Amino acid sequence: MNRICDDTRQVKCLLFPAGSDGLTDIWVGFNSVTSIVPYSENGQMEAVPWFAVYHGNVIVERVNAAHVALVEYQKGDDDGHDC
């Protein structure tokens, strides 16, 4: 199993658990979100996974992956399913 930061698929949406304090699901294509990119930052013991949320080329939000309940990836155009 690859680490989330090593996965090269494009993220379509981040879903948060019900009752999350003010966290709203994030979808590419809605509210000016153009992409969601996983990355890691140094923690005290090892790398900590995060998601950078972009509007164009600007990061407008950083989300700690520990707060995310579900990551869905971009599907192929021919599968008839979307996030």
Each domain of the chain, given as residue ranges in start order, spans 4-73
Amino acid at residue number 20: S
Gap between the Cα atoms of 18 and 75, Å rounded: 24
pLDDT surpassing 50 at residue 29: yes
Q: Give the chain's mean pLDDT.
A: 85
pLDDT surpassing 80 at residue 19: no
The predicted structure's pLDDT at residue 21? 72
The predicted structure's pLDDT at residue 81? 42
The predicted structure's pLDDT at residue 80? 43
The predicted structure's pLDDT at residue 8? 86
Gap between the Cα atoms of 80 and 82, Å rounded: 7
pLDDT surpassing 90 at residue 11: yes
Q: What is the DSSP string of 26-54?
A: EETTSTT--EEEEEEEE-SSSEEEEEEEE
